[in-house]
Structure 1
Amino acid sequence: MLQELFIRNFALIEEVRLTFDSGLTILTGETGAGKSIILDALGLIVGGRASSEMVRQGAEKAIIEALFIIDQNRDAWLQLFNDMGFEWNEDDTLVVTREVSASGKNVCRVNGRIVTVQMLRQIGKRLLDIVGQHENQSLLRVEDQLDLLDAFGGSEISALRREVSDLYHRFNDARRVLRDAQLGEKERMQRIDILRFQMDEIDAAGFTPGEDVRLEEERRMLAHAEKLYASAANAYAVLYQGSERQHSILDLLYRVLQDLETAERYDASLAPIVELIKTAGYQLEEAAHDLRSYRDTVESNPARLRELEERIALLSRLQKKYGENVEAILQYAEKIRTELYELENHEEHIVKLQQELEKIGKQLAEKALLLSEKRKEVAEDLSELVMGELTNLMMPKTQFAIHFQEFSDADGICVGNRWVHVSETGIDRIEFLFSPNIGEPLRPLAKIASGGELSRTMLALTTLLSDVAGVQTLVFDEVDTGISGRAAQAVAEKLSIVSETKQVICVTHLPQVACMADTHYQIVKHQTGQRTYTEVTCLSEEERIEELARMLSGPELTDTTRKAAEEMLRLARLVKTG
């Protein structure tokens, strides 16, 4: 839910801060006062296009900042933020900031982090939906209508759509593999020659797993054989043999042991120390014997060293071609061995791939057809509900339908006896159609001429689809355009009903709508010297009477219009309290 909106140096607005609550918030004011500026600012918050012309004359940049409280669908928001790499605020708040400079630079931030406009649009479509001019109405975009219908269809449609999407991607993968396999004969033979050469080269080398490590260890030992022999011989001599000038360590140790064994006769407490020295002597003697054995195995072998270096050089050449180590080279060999088998058994392999593609294609066709049939059932239900809503909005003769269309595609899938185009959403392309009067043909909703008809149709659709669209805040830009009288009253009551479950913000020129407000803002344009600016005021009860009276009669207010305004507010309270 939108809680606060701050605007600075945006068009005619120098600075304004609006607070919003649940229920119905109404914005009123004279034509040209700047009501649309507020909605333009909200449009930027959800990823609308920015322009340097939006910056107030003389200012360096415009700033729009909105605070949202996320108290619904928290798990979905957490997943979205996790996918985008954002941290979620523990107080469930979301702050969106948009800065537009006079030079044209545009900066978007979400919870203080810079994001792209595309990322902001992803977030914005979950925050609020603006029902306004044709180009801004999500319900008029054909590409969005299928998603809305599917969402309205609930879990059954969603599950089928996921199955179709999965099968579609498997179908495309299988088709790509088949096409890659269906090489021309010349290309196939060239590929076989390349793979055979690679296989022969790897097989001739005869490497075994772990051989690269063993080769390097043996090469390192042979390359330093003299040093290893000298180290082992010297250590053995010092430990065991000794020299003319110096006794061995073991000789000295045994002399120490003899002295302590003598002393032990007089002090038994030396016994543990004697045992430790005996153990050390045994271990040193064993180490000396092992050093002698190691010394005798070390020998200089230049011929073997040359063999090792040649094999390591061969391995290095193969690593550059096929993998970073022996295991990777052997894995590559298995891979090309399989490919070589498939190429050499080309016809058999192609048949298997065709059979797999046909199997997946058949499954995709069955699920896509089932999805289409379920959609048509849902479309009938939605159409009836829309016409019921339009009847309540004083349009009883209106016809509404959802048109389904398929596109022929020889490279698609076979459904029944026809080849049709398929995508991850299935085989359907839909469009919302509308006819305001009996006898008139159904036409695309986006081409409706009457502003009043369009406004009420959008209100009906928004009422029915707002839940599945997943937004908490609905913004209506003059949804009452082109209507009056009973129709205006019906729209006002419908907006009030919608605001019981959604936060609704509405710009209106009709007193019938304005009197239903839970919060009422008046937008006024002032001129000071050579500058024009817009002021926004939250109206008290008395101020609302004055504003409604102005809307009823224009600038010339009378006691009669004030009494009429008071009566409208009284009746509105009765309607809202049921």
Structure 2
Amino acid sequence: MLSELLIRSFVVIDELRIPLGPGLSVVTGETGAGKSLLVDALGLVLGSRADAGVIRAGADTAEVIATFDLTPDSPAHAWLAERDLTADTDQCIVRRVVAPDRSRAFINATPVPLQLLRELGERLLDLHGQHEHQALMRRDVQRSLLDAYAGAGHEAQALASVVTALAALRARHRALQEAAEQRAARASLVRYQLDELEGLRPQAGEWQDLNTTERRLAHAQELMSGISGLVALLSEGDDALSSALEKAMSTLRQLLRHEPRLAEVEGLLASAGVEISEAAIALNRIAGDLESEPLDLPALEARVAHWHDLARKHRVPPEELPELWGRLAAEHESLQGDGDAIAELAREIAGREHEAAGLAQALSAKRAAASPALAQAVTEEMGRLGLGSARLQAALTPEALSVNGCEAVEFLVSPAPDAPFKPLAKIASGGELSRISLALQVVLADVCAGPTLIFDEVDVGIGGAVAEIVGLRLHELAKTRQVLCITHLPQVAAQGDTHLLVEKGETGGRTISSVEVLTQARRIEEIARMLGGIAVSARTRALARDMLRG
């Protein structure tokens, strides 16, 4: 419920603080007093566009603050909670400040983008009047009204949830398929690389062994010749080291008889003899190994070249080929087996599609059944509200399944029996739209408890009995929700629970609009003025009293 509206420096308004209560609040005043400025100010709070022209002359900014009392189960309260914009109290304060160069919006003192202000405004206020404020012009609002009348809110909500989930599943399925295709391409490349490496089968440490063996085989003849020469030098022939050492040992033994200290030298020469003998044995063993080793140098060189080629191709050092082989084998293993997940997701999508089709069919059936009934009920109410033979049609146009169902919903109006049906925006004036909105609200009163309703121009072009019916319908609506109506008709004003009078005057050479909450006595005077014009008589006062008594 809108509990207070504060307007500062807005057009001809200096400052207005307007308290509002439940039920029906009516706003009256002379033409040009500024009644519609209240609606414009509310539109500003709802997030409508603003320009510097709304700033009162001499002021730096224009400001509108609307205070709402919320119940914990209201859509607005849930919306605020989802966005962490709730206040410490059950109130919501919406503020809009317009400066020459820009405007700012606040929800409970938190700066917000204008779009958020519009979203919240749709949950707080429903303006019926000028086209730019008219929620009824929107297809989504029309669809929601038909669903409320059809009692299809559950199906519509469930379908929207399932279709949204279905879209997410399809997106995931596409992503998995794309990933699977990429994985398959990668797996193919890795398989090709593995086949190359498996042809080589490189082993850890093999590269070092290959290089050592290659060097040895490349110098085999040189090694054999050198080793043979060394063996001959050490132990073969009269000139060998071993023969010379034997002669030295023989001479030393003879000398030892005369010099005992030569015993140490004898030991050293004996040890040297043993070392020479062992060196010759080792050389012969190596020579034997070299003779027994196959001298397939071309094959060895070919394998070394193969290592080099693969290392260069994969841009790694040759010694890292065994590790690369293992890595590629592990990667190839990991790239397998995503088909099961895709198939499972496809089954889940099929199940959701079946569920969505069932919900859409049920929703379509309810809409098809309710559409003519709603059109008939609203048409009858439109006739009672002075719209003559105008007719409303809730047209259903088949379309592809979406979160909104399998059909588009659009309210069409025919102003006369022989006139074609056209969209509301193309055929209804501001006053007619307000009365069509009122007719819809009356028909939907028991099934659609909306937010605060604001009616402007609802009484344009009517009077007498029709005006009284409009007032009564507004009063009936106000039993279940808050209604604010700007009116020129005493029959409508007399139905108000609260009466606000807008007046324009001059203060200090400035034109200023003011708002007064009327007492019962002042209400009699205002309604008498509306009945009798400038001259208020005892007769018009008496009639005003009778109208207020109901």
TM-score over 0.5 (shorter chain): yes
Q: Does 1:147 align with 2:126?
A: no
Q: Which runs of 5+ in 2 are unaligned?
A: 203-315
Q: Secondary structure at the match of 1:428?
A: strand
Looking at structure 2, the residues matched to 89 and 477 of structure 1 have their Cα atoms a distance apart, in angstroms, of 33
Q: CA distance change for structure 1 residues 513 and 569 in 2, over 3 Å: closer, same or farther?
A: farther
Give the structure 1 partner of residue 134 of structure 2: 137
Are the counterparts in 1 of residues 105 and 114 from structure 2 also a CA contact under 8 Å? yes
Task: Map Cα deviations across residues 367-393 of structure 1 (whole Å, 9 max, x no partner).
Answer: 323321122123233223323433442
Q: After the TM superposition, which residues 437-456 of structure 1 pair with which residues of structure 2 at under 5 Å, given as runs?
A: 437-450=416-429, 452-456=431-435
Are the counterparts in 2 of residues 64 and 99 from structure 1 also a CA contact under 8 Å? yes
Give the structure 2 partner of residue 478 of structure 1: 457
Q: CA distance change for structure 1 residues 333 and 80 in 2, over 3 Å: closer, same or farther?
A: farther
Give the structure 1 partner of residue 16 of structure 2: 16
Are the counterparts in 1 of residues 80 and 86 from structure 2 also a CA contact under 8 Å? yes
Q: CA distance change for structure 1 residues 152 and 441 in 2, over 3 Å: closer, same or farther?
A: same
Q: CA distance change for structure 1 residues 128 and 194 in 2, over 3 Å: closer, same or farther?
A: farther
Q: Does 1:523 align with 2:502?
A: yes
Select which of 337, 340, 359 maps to 1:367: 359
Q: CA distance change for structure 1 residues 69 and 200 in 2, over 3 Å: closer, same or farther?
A: farther
Select which of 345, 370, 377 maps to 1:378: 370
Q: Does 1:83 align with 2:86?
A: no
Looking at structure 1, the residues matched to 483 and 193 of structure 2 have their Cα atoms a distance apart, in angstroms, of 69
Give the structure 2 partner of residue 239 of structure 1: none
Give the structure 2 partner of residue 166 of structure 1: 162
Letter aligned with residue 107 of structure 1: R
Task: Map Cα deviations across residues 474-522 of structure 1 (whole Å, 9 max, x no partner).
Answer: 1111211111122111101111111122111111111211122222122
Q: Secondary structure at the match of 1:48?
A: coil
Give the structure 2 partner of residue 116 of structure 1: 113
Give the structure 2 partner of residue 214 of structure 1: none
Q: CA distance change for structure 1 residues 454 and 94 in 2, over 3 Å: closer, same or farther?
A: closer
Q: CA distance change for structure 1 residues 353 and 9 in 2, over 3 Å: closer, same or farther?
A: closer
Looking at structure 1, the residues matched to 447 and 79 of structure 2 have their Cα atoms a distance apart, in angstroms, of 17
Task: Map Cα deviations across residues 59-103 of structure 1 (whole Å, 9 max, x no partner).
Answer: 1112211221113625x455323310234424x122222211233
Are the counterparts in 2 of residues 5 and 67 from structure 1 also a CA contact under 8 Å? yes
Q: Does 1:193 align with 2:188?
A: yes
Are the counterparts in 2 of residues 164 and 368 from structure 1 also a CA contact under 8 Å? no
State the TM-score, normalizing by the size of structure 2: 0.68
Q: Secondary structure at the match of 2:512?
A: strand
Q: Return 63-72 or 188-197, whichever deviates more.
A: 188-197
Looking at structure 1, the residues matched to 96 and 188 of structure 2 have their Cα atoms a distance apart, in angstroms, of 60
RMSD between superposed Cα atoms in Å: 4.0
Q: CA distance change for structure 1 residues 167 and 8 in 2, over 3 Å: closer, same or farther?
A: closer
Task: Map Cα deviations across residues 148-207 of structure 1 (whole Å, 9 max, x no partner).
Answer: 3223333x542354235414642563377359748999x897444356479999x999xx
Residue identity (%): 37
Are the counterparts in 2 of residues 128 and 473 from structure 1 also a CA contact under 8 Å? yes
Letter aligned with residue 522 of structure 2: E
Q: Secondary structure at the match of 2:337?
A: helix
Task: Map Cα deviations across residues 184-235 of structure 1 (whole Å, 9 max, x no partner).
Answer: 99x897444356479999x999xxxxxxxxxxxxxxxxxxxxxxxxxxxxxx
Q: Secondary structure at the match of 1:427?
A: strand
Are the counterparts in 2 of residues 397 and 438 from structure 1 also a CA contact under 8 Å? yes
Q: Does 1:570 align with 2:546?
A: yes
Looking at structure 2, the residues matched to 478 and 550 of structure 1 have their Cα atoms a distance apart, in angstroms, of 19
Looking at structure 2, the residues matched to 12 and 157 of structure 1 have their Cα atoms a distance apart, in angstroms, of 44
Q: Secondary structure at the match of 1:27?
A: strand
Select which of 495, 502, 508 maps to 2:474: 495
Task: Map Cα deviations across residues 274-310 of structure 1 (whole Å, 9 max, x no partner).
Answer: xxxxxxxxxxxxxxxxxxxxxxxxxxxxxxxxxxxx9
Looking at structure 1, the residues matched to 443 and 333 of structure 2 have their Cα atoms a distance apart, in angstroms, of 58
Give the structure 1 partner of residue 214 of structure 2: none
Q: CA distance change for structure 1 residues 193 and 507 in 2, over 3 Å: closer, same or farther?
A: same
Give the structure 1 partner of residue 243 of structure 2: none
Give the structure 2 partner of residue 103 of structure 1: 101
Q: After the TM superposition, which residues 29-44 of structure 1 pair with which residues of structure 2 at under 5 Å, given as runs?
A: 29-44=29-44
